[in-house]
């Protein structure tokens, strides 16, 4: 039998060549990643101690961006795991005063709830709201201490409202709301430890960091619009100690060189600085 008669003719489009084959794979992978980051989930790193010890500096989270999506049809809500935000949810959201910045806090009050801060304690609809997630710092050397924090437990001195501040909560300022900004610059004291009572308006929630003495949250910049929510963390896929301790803020990379620097640092200290006990845990 001749070589010509035994030659196999490939269907058109099969023999594309090495470059085209791999380019298609790369493009398809990029599309899948972009779809996943836009509609399903996204990686998020805890940069500061505002949620300590519920979330630690250097916790790398996967955020479920689908859970708070607004269904267009009733069958969507039945078919997919979509729901409204609930009290106690840890939430990732666009910071109202800078929408290019993502924050992570805990939702403590929903529209229609009445909130009040009394000597650092949160009163929700007239009842004390506390638990193991609430932390206060009595001694910086000991770090944040977990709750619960009844009124009979010393939570440290409270910051009082300065006498020269207006009686009206400034976050309800009409001009600020008209600009769709829910607050002003972070106040130095004043409303952090004693505030209210106030009712959470429609379309807003009240968000607070679990590390109550070290968190810039709704006590400073006001109510959080629900449409600013980006998702809910569902797993800590890696936890890494920046600087080898629990107190050094995470380095947020700016540009390709920052990403490479973070990658090199993580690779160099991967085994010594990884919190193995937190990696793979579910945030509560």
CATH assignment of 85-234? 2.10.109.10
pLDDT at 87: 96
Q: Which residue has the higher pLDDT, 264 or 162?
A: 264
How far apart (Å, rounded) are the C-alpha atoms in residues 274 and 284?
Answer: 20
Active site positions, annotated: 50, 105
Average pLDDT, the chain: 79
CA angle 143, 146, 148 (to 5 degrees): 150
Number of H helices, E strands in the chain: 7, 13
Average pLDDT over residues 64-71: 81
Q: Is the pLDDT of residue 78 over 80?
A: no
| Termini Cα distance of the chain | 72
Q: Please state the domain extents for the chain.
A: 85-234
pTM of the model: 0.77
**What is the structure's pLDDT at 88?**
95
């Amino acid at each position: 039998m001749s070589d010509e008669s035994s030659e196999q003719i490939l269907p058109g489009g099969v023999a594309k060549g090495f470059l085209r084959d791999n380019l298609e794979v790369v493009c398809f992978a990029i599309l899948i990643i972009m779809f996943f980051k836009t509609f399903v989930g996204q990686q998020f790193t805890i940069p500061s101690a505002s949620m300590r010890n519920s979330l630690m500096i250097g916790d790398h989270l996967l955020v479920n961006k689908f859970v708070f999506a607004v269904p267009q049809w009733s069958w969507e809500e039945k078919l997919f795991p979509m729901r409204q935000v609930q009290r106690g949810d840890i939430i990732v959201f666009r910071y109202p005063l800078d929408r290019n910045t993502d924050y992570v806090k805990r939702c403590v009050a929903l529209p229609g709830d009445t909130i009040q801060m009394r000597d650092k304690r949160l009163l929700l609809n007239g009842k004390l709201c506390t638990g193991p997630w609430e932390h206060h710092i009595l001694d910086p050397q000991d770090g944040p201490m977990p709750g619960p924090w009844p009124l009979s437990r010393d939570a440290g001195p409270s910051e009082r409202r300065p006498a020269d501040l207006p009686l009206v909560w400034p976050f309800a300022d009409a001009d600020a709301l008209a600009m769709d900004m829910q607050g002003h610059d972070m106040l130095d004291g004043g409303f952090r430890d004693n505030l209210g009572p106030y009712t959470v308006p429609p379309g807003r929630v009240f968000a607070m960091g679990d590390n109550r003495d070290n968190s810039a949250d709704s006590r400073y910049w006001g109510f959080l619009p629900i449409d600013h929510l980006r998702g809910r963390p569902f797993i800590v896929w890696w936890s890494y100690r920046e600087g080898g301790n629990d107190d050094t803020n995470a380095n947020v990379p700016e540009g390709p060189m920052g990403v490479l620097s973070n990658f090199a640092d993580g690779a160099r200290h991967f085994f010594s600085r990884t919190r193995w006990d937190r990696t793979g845990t579910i945030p509560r």
